[in-house]
Amino acid sequence: MKGTVFNHLQEFVEQSHGYTVWDQAISTLDLPSKGIYVGTQSYDDTEITMLAVYLAEQLNAPLPDLIRSFGYSLFSHLMPMAPEQAKQAKDLRTFLHMVEKIIHVEVLKLYQDVNLPKFDYIDEESKYMTMIYRSPRKLCFLSEGLILGAADHFKEQVKIDQSKCMHKGDDCCHIEIEFL
Amino acid sequence: MSQQSNEQEQLEALKHILDRERAARKEAEQKIEVFASDIYEKNQLLQEQTHQAQERQKQLEFLTGLAAETWQQASMTAILDNYLDRSRNFLQFAFATMFELKPDYQLDRVQILPAAETQLMQFEESELRTLFNHLDGFRLSMELTEQAECKLLNLEEYLDPQLGKTYRPEFQFAYIVPLYQNSHNRQTTFGLACFLFEDEANLDIGQLQTIESSRNTLILALSRKQNETNQAKQLAELEQAHQTLKQTQQQLIDSEKLASLGMLSAGVAHEINNPVGYVMSNIDTMHDYLSSLQSVLKPLNENEQLDDAACRTLMAKWQDEEGDYLLEDSQKILNSSIDGLHRIRDIVEALRSFSRMDNHELEAIDVNSTIEHALKMVKNELKYNYQVITDFQADKPIMGSDGQLQQVFINLFINAKHAMKGGGSITIKTWIDKARVKVSVKDTGTGIKEEDLKQIFTPFFTTKKQGEGTGLGLAISYSILQQHHAKIEINTQLGEGTEFLLSFFTFE
């Protein structure tokens, strides 16, 4: 996981729960990075899991909700870095298709060592779309948050649900998006 | 207290966060330094690679340009001049020279082009000639004999030990490119291109390798051009030989004609002698007749007026001398003499036209008259036991040489005679067939065997006994007919005879 995600997680925690929460998390957890994150560096995936689990416990919030909220917040941080073509997408649906076809392609050009999730699309009905998520990190809730952040960006209303989820023993997650 | 403790806690947390931020910044700065140094190295590498690519581009341009131009040059000299000029521009800092290293180790045909970047090197041509005069030609020649490859020479090592003790050359290096070798009596002359460099700084091994690469193209082009020159020379020689052959062939035709003339001369002499004989005998008789007539007619001159008695005496004398018979016979004798003289005139005419050697030009001729002339020449040969039947229907001229065609016909008639040992007949016909004049000469002789037929026109092939025929008659006839664009056909039947059928284009 790239340092920039950790940096934003820090900002997210500090802004919504204060500096001490974040500092306690870093001080308590014996992380290989010691909580020192450089945006362009890659860090072990387990660090984000450890931080999320710890924070959920400390804040007494369900883990999926915490990750989803972070994803929602992360979107506004990532969007300025998106390729021009994606920035000019005419609507949410178009943008979501670009995630796999344009954004991930561009990210790979910059960082050859990233482990990006793989998305497949089922898009046959005007009101619905399914994004099939596959990643060993199982951060499907982060994706949900990012989609919600994107909907907000494009000023669209969506309802999100998962018909299949790796956390429930499925081999992939089906993120069902309903355009309202 | 709790608020203070909370603030303390917050401060601690911020301090920790700040420490971590500093650490992250340092780490980031270190990364930037590594990154910057990495970029610098990559940039250097890129510059180096760009330079190399540009050099390769230049080398490639040199090689392709040289190859394209080399094949277009008209001569070996032009190929070498172009090579020297292009190489000089490519090498920039080298003086481009060319010379031949002779078997006596001397340099010859020295050519010098100053370096392309002339402002950098100001050398007089005489200085270069001095350098070449000091060069150890023996050592260079020995090394090239062993292996004629490109060589980079340190010039100090290649100065003639006899001459080079005090001399210091202006150039330190010479790159020698052997381009051609001429060997004669185991002695070799080397054609060499030589690029002179002032010092090591101007030497570029990549460039020299390129010069070396271009050598094969040069060698190939030079050897091809040499072959072309040789071929042109051979062609000229062949043309000369062909011309000589044509002349020799003409001489052969003429000698064969002389041989026929020799063979026929006895017959022709006889043909002339015969009428000469009887014309002379006629003149003798006429002489006697004239004496008799004079004795009868003399009184007429003495007496201007004859009386009856004189007239009676004259009449008696007329009767005595058979005056009427003398007059009548004189007429016959004169006619016979005129006929004899015509025969002589005709045969002399035939002989004259046949024996002409100088005129082989084709002109419009009447083939019938040519045949008649030829018949006159062989008349004596065919006088006994041979019947000559002629049927001349052709009424258009052909393009031909009367003398040469007579030679052909005489040859055919004599061959016909030889094929009919015990006598027989020769039928000669001419007629028009579309745009052609056809001539048939047919005998009633033995015919020609199939195996002989194949060789009938081969020079020196003969079925006659030794001394009887040259074996050239029909071969030469064939060659004459070819010059006339005439076709020849032979129809033969063993025991029945042979027909030679000639076909000429009519001359309109």
Contact B24 A19 (CB under 8 A): no
Say yes or no for a CB contact (<8 Å) between B10 and A41.
no
Residues of A with CB under 8 A from a CB of B: 3, 10, 14, 18-20, 22-24, 26-27, 34-41
Is the domain of A88 the same as that of A174?
yes
CB spacing of A36 vs B27 below 8 angstroms: yes
**Which residue intervals of B303-387 are DSSP H helices?**
308-320, 323-355, 367-378
Residues contacting residue B87 through CB under 8 Å, at least 6 positions apart? B62, B66, B94, B96, B193, B195, B211, B214
Burial of residue B465 (CB within 10 Å: 0-12, 13-18, 19+) is exposed
**Do the domain assignments include residue A99?**
yes
Residues of B in contact with A40 (CB under 8 A): 31
Chain B residues with CB under 8 Å of a chain A CB are: 9-10, 12-14, 16-17, 20, 23-24, 27-28, 31
d(CA A56, CA A59): 5
What are the boundaries of each domain within chain B?
Answer: 1-53, 73-203, 359-508
- Which chain B residue lies closest to A24 (C-alpha atoms)? B13
State the pLDDT confidence band at B252, using cuts at 50, 70 and 90: confident
CATH superfamily, domain B359-508, is Histidine kinase-like ATPase, C-terminal domain (3.30.565.10)
**A27 assigned to some structural domain:** yes
Q: Which one of A24, A38, A111 makes the best mutation probe of the B interface by having the most chain B beta carbons within 10 Å? A: A38
With a pLDDT cut of 90, the percent of chain B lying above it is 43
Residue B369 has pLDDT above 80, yes or no: yes
pLDDT of residue A179: 94
- Number of Cβ within a 10 Å radius of residue B221: 23
CA of A161 to nearest chain B CA: how many angstroms apart?
37
Does the distance separating the beta carbons of B24 and A23 come in below 8 Å?
no
Q: Which pLDDT score is estimated for B499?
A: 95
Closest CA to A37 of B297, B131, B411, B20: B20
Q: Of the candidates A40, A55, A53, which has an alpha carbon nearest to the alpha carbon of residue A1?
A: A40
Q: Which residues pair with B98 in a beta bridge?
A: B111, B193
For residue B121, pLDDT over 70 is answered with no
User: How distant is the Cα of B49 from the closest Cα of chain A, in angstroms?
Assistant: 24
Q: In whole angstroms, give the CA distance from residue B190 to residue B177.
A: 10
Going from the C-alpha of B501 to that of each of B35, B413, B434, B456, B476, the distances in angstroms are: 104, 13, 15, 15, 16
CB contact under 8 A, B17 and A41: no
Tens-place pLDDT, residues B312-350: 888 888 888 888 898 999 999 999 899 889 888 888 877
**Which chain B residues are Cβ-neighbours of A18 within 8 angstroms?**
10, 13
Domain membership of residue A30 (yes or no) is yes
Say whether both A104 and A159 belong to one domain.
yes
C-alpha span between B365 and B479 (Å, rounded): 19
Tell which CATH classification among 3.30.40, 2.60.40, 3.30.160, 3.30.450 matches the domain B73-203: 3.30.450
- Report yes or no on A75 lying in a domain: no
Residues of chain A with pLDDT under 50: none
Percent of chain B with pLDDT over 70: 94
Pair A29, A95 in one domain: no
The predicted structure's pLDDT at residue B467: 58
User: Per-residue pLDDT averaged across B295-303, rounded?
Assistant: 76
CB-based burial of residue A51 (10 Å sphere; 0-12 exposed, 13-18 middle, 19+ buried)? buried
Nearest to B31 among A24, A35, A38 (CB): A38
- Which one of B19, B27, B35 makes the best mutation probe of the A interface by having the most chain A beta carbons within 10 Å? B27
Cα distances (Å, whole numbers) of residue B346 to B275, B335, B387 = 12, 16, 20
CA torsion, points B446, B451, B456, B462, in degrees to nearest 10?
A: -70
Tokens in use for A123? 């898009």
Is pTM beyond 0.95? Reply is no
| Residue B339 DSSP code | H
Tell me the one-letter amino acid at B24: A
Q: Which residue of A has its CA nearest to B19?
A: A36
- Cβ–Cβ of B16/A27 closer than 8 Å? yes
Q: How many domains does chain A have?
A: 2
CA A92 – CA A80 distance, rounded (Å) = 16
Tell me the pLDDT band of B186, cut-offs 50, 70 and 90: confident
Report chain B's terminal Cα–Cα distance, integer Å: 146
Query: Does the pLDDT value for residue B352 go beyond 80?
Result: no
| pLDDT tens digit sequence for B282-294 | 999 999 999 988 8
Mean pLDDT (whole number) for B185-214 = 90
What is the mean predicted confidence (pLDDT) over B234-249? 92
Q: What is the pLDDT of residue B357?
A: 63
Owning domain of residue A49 = 3-61
Nearest CA in chain B to A27: B16
Q: What is the pLDDT of residues A135-145, one digit of tens each?
A: 998 999 999 99
Counts for chain B of helices (H) and strands (E), in that order: 11, 12
- Between residues B380 and A174, which one has the greater pLDDT? A174
CA-based nearest distance B15→chain A, Å: 9
At residue B456, the pLDDT reads 80
The confidence score (pLDDT) of residue B466 equals 60
Beta strands B187-197; B173-184: pairing state = antiparallel
> Do B12 and A23 make contact, defined as CB atoms within 8 angstroms?
yes
C-alpha B331: how far from chain center? 67
Mean model confidence pLDDT for chain B: 87
* Secondary structure, 3-state, B368-437: HHHHHHHHHHHCCCCCCCEEEEEEECCCCCEEECHHHHHHHHHHHHHHHHHHCCCCEEEEEEEEEECCEE
Distance, CA of B125 to CA of B127 (rounded, Å):
5
In-domain check, residue A142: yes
Asked whether residue A116 is domain-assigned, the answer is yes
Looking at the structure, tell me whether residues A44 and A93 fall in a common domain: no
Q: How far is CA A47 from CA A25, A103, A136, B28, B444, in A?
A: 11, 25, 14, 20, 129
Tell me how far apart the alpha carbons of residues B441 and B488 are, in angstroms, rounded to a whole number. 11
Q: B433-486 pLDDT, tens per residue?
A: 999 999 999 999 999 988 888 878 877 677 776 656 666 778 888 888 888 999
Among the listed residues B186, B224, B205, B196, the one whose alpha carbon sits nearest the alpha carbon of residue B97: B196
B497-505 and B487-493: which strand pairing?
Answer: antiparallel
The CATH number assigned to the domain holding A121 equals 3.90.1520.10
Domain boundary among A61, A93, A108: A61
Across the interface, whether the CB atoms of B27 and A18 are under 8 A apart is answered no
Q: What was the pLDDT predicted at B271?
A: 79
Strands A128-134 and A173-179: antiparallel
Which is more confidently placed, A155 or B402?
A155
| A&B contacts, CB < 8 Å | 39
Q: Is residue A37 part of a domain?
A: yes
Tell if the CB–CB gap between A37 and B23 is shorter than 8 Å. no
Residue A119 forms part of a structural domain? yes
Picking from A14, A24, A36, the nearest residue to B20 by CB comes out as A36
Rounded mean pLDDT, B356-376: 84
